[in-house]
Amino acid sequence: MTTEQQTMFDQVSDVLEKLRPFLLRDGGDCELVDVDDGIVKLRLLGACGTCPSSTITLKAGIERALLEEVPGVVEVEQVF
């Protein structure tokens, strides 16, 4: 992993730590799997993994926050 990739990975991790309490409050969580060419790959855990609203959580919540706070992020994808 290059220094630039590691920096982006660390920045994404920091934003996810800010969001984590909101996910935990609803019985869920997320795991950062990878960041590759601006695409953040997340695994939704707990209640978030089976929730019918998980796509909204991922796109409207997590992705929006990452796009606003981490330069270079272009998309968030859910991995299973």
Q: Where in the chain are the domains?
A: 3-78
pLDDT digits (tens, 9 = 90+) for 23-39: 999 899 999 999 999 99
Fold of 3-78: GMP Synthetase; Chain A, domain 3 (3.30.300)
Q: Which residue did the predictor score with more confidence, 41 or 54?
A: 41
Judge whether residue 56 has pLDDT over 90.
no
- What is 20-79 written as a DSSP string? HHHHHHTTEEEEEEEEETTEEEEEEEEHHHH-TTHHHIIIIIIIHHHHHHSTT--EEEE-
Q: What pTM value is reported for the model? A: 0.92
